[in-house]
């Protein structure tokens, strides 16, 4: 998986094994919320 940066407002994500393949493009604020949630420790 590759995540591009430096593109205002969006975060493109693609399969690094298929660089000419399609990319999913997420709004930057949604991507940030997703990453922040991954970093949160939800263990009981």
Strand-pairing partners, residue 11, are: 26
Contacts of residue 5, Cβ cutoff 8 Å, sequence gap at least 6 = 11
Q: pLDDT class for 6, splitting at 50, 70, 90? A: very high
> Would you tell me how many other CB atoms lie within 10 Å of the CB of residue 11?
20
Calculate ∠ Cα 42-26-1, nearest 5°.
75
Q: Residue 19: CB partners within 8 Å, gap ≥ 6?
A: 2
Indicate whether 26 pLDDT > 90: yes
pTM for the full model? 0.76
Q: What are phi and psi of 27, to 5 degrees?
A: -60, 140
């Amino acid at each position: 998986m590759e995540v591009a940066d430096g593109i205002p407002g969006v975060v493109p994500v693609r399969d690094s094994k298929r660089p000419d393949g399609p990319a999913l493009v997420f709004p930057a604020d949604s991507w940030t919320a997703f990453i922040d949630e991954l970093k949160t420790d939800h263990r009981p």
